[in-house]
Amino acid sequence: MADDSFFTIHNLSISFGGLLAVDNVGFDVSPGSIFSIIGPNGAGKTTIFNCISGLYSPDSGKIIFQGKNIIGLKPHKIARKGIARTFQNIELFSRMTTMENLMLGRHIHMKTGIWSGATFYRRGSKAAQEEIKHRERVENIIDLLDLQAARNQFVGGLPYGTQKLIELGRALALEPKILLLDEPSAGMNSEEKQDLIFWIKDIQDELGVTILLIEHDMKLIMDISDRILAINFGKPITEGTPAEIQKHPEVLKAYLGED
């Protein structure tokens, strides 16, 4: 099936030993938009992300990215296509500095071979120039996310909110076309959340990155989403704009209980 959509999921299903974690979920994300997935704990939101980034292989369905089905590709291949993500429980290289973590986000763009990499001390060499280019990119991200103070610190010992930002920074360093954010505001105070909203908006507007977002903070979701998909027990309930979602009876039921 020829498909010229930017990013579309068709009939995605995956089960774990009898438990249907994601059941026939499908949606379409238009380029440059912010698309959010909401739902109670255990609804299957993170499982959808894991299918997109290749960590799980779904039982059925299609994930079309730029006209090609990406199901069955290994995670590193999917990263190379320009899909970056963050995790709910931060996954950083904890014994490296912030700078090194972000530089690892540049991995897919690095072309220097083993020999020139090991001998790049010569100024003006191709390897040195590449290194400078990558470092400039990373410095820009550090400036963007206000991470200067953490630049040369080992990330393992930094505050939770900072670690979340570093993970976001690392995902940006990959220069993604699509960015998957799994509960980026979890564990942040309200001030940090305000900053986060600005940054996500910046990423969308200035970098032109399409964003898929999982969040529990309804205010944040309603503020920044273009479209929202609500799911419960792995099944889609409804999809619409923030205003539509807020009024939808099934969503209210899933969140507030019946009556």
Partner 1 sequence: MFFQLLVSGFSFGSLYALVALAMVIIYKTSEVPNFGQGEMAMLSTFVAYTLLVTHNNSFVLSFVGSLFFAAILGVFLEFVFLRRAKDPNILSLILITLGFQMILYGLASWKWGAEQRDLPFPVSDFDVINLGPAVLSYLNIATLLITLVLMLILFLFFKYTKVGIAMKATQQNAMAARINGIRTNRILSITWAMSSVIGAVAGILLAPIATLDPNLMLEPLLKGFSAAVLGGMTTLVGAALGGYILGIIENLFGGYVSLEFKSIVAFGIIVLVLCFKPSGLFAKHYVRKV
> What is the contact surface with partner 1 in residues (CB under 8 A)?
53-55, 74-76, 78-80, 84-85, 87, 91-96, 100, 103-105, 107-108, 110, 112-114, 117-120, 156, 170, 174
CB closer to partner 1 out of 7 and 251:
7
CB of 249 to partner 1, least distance (A): 37
CB closer to partner 1 out of 90 and 197:
90
Are 212 and 35 contacting, i.e. CB atoms less than 8 angstroms apart?
A: yes
CB closer to partner 1 out of 91 and 205:
91
The CA–CA distances, whole Å, from 231 to 17, 47, 228 equal 21, 12, 10
Are 232 and 47 contacting, i.e. CB atoms less than 8 angstroms apart?
A: no
CB closer to partner 1 out of 115 and 258:
115
Alpha helical stretches, state H, the chain: 45-52, 75-80, 98-105, 114-118, 126-144, 160-173, 190-205, 218-224, 242-247, 249-256
CB of 105 to partner 1, least distance (A): 6
Q: Which residues pair with 238 in a beta bridge?
A: 230
CB of 114 to partner 1, least distance (A): 5
CB closer to partner 1 out of 11 and 94:
94
Say which residue the tokens 């059941």 belong to: 23
The CA–CA distances, whole Å, from 158 to 14, 75, 135, 148, 189 equal 36, 27, 22, 13, 16
CB closer to partner 1 out of 108 and 197:
108
CB of 93 to partner 1, least distance (A): 4
Structure tokens at 48: 């959808």
Strands of the sheet with 210-214, listed across from one edge:
83-85, 178-182, 210-214, 34-38, 227-232, 235-240
CB of 216 to partner 1, least distance (A): 22
Give the C-alpha separation, 224 to 221, whole Å: 6
Identify the three-state secondary structure at position 10: strand
CB closer to partner 1 out of 120 and 233:
120
CB of 80 to partner 1, least distance (A): 5
CB of 115 to partner 1, least distance (A): 8
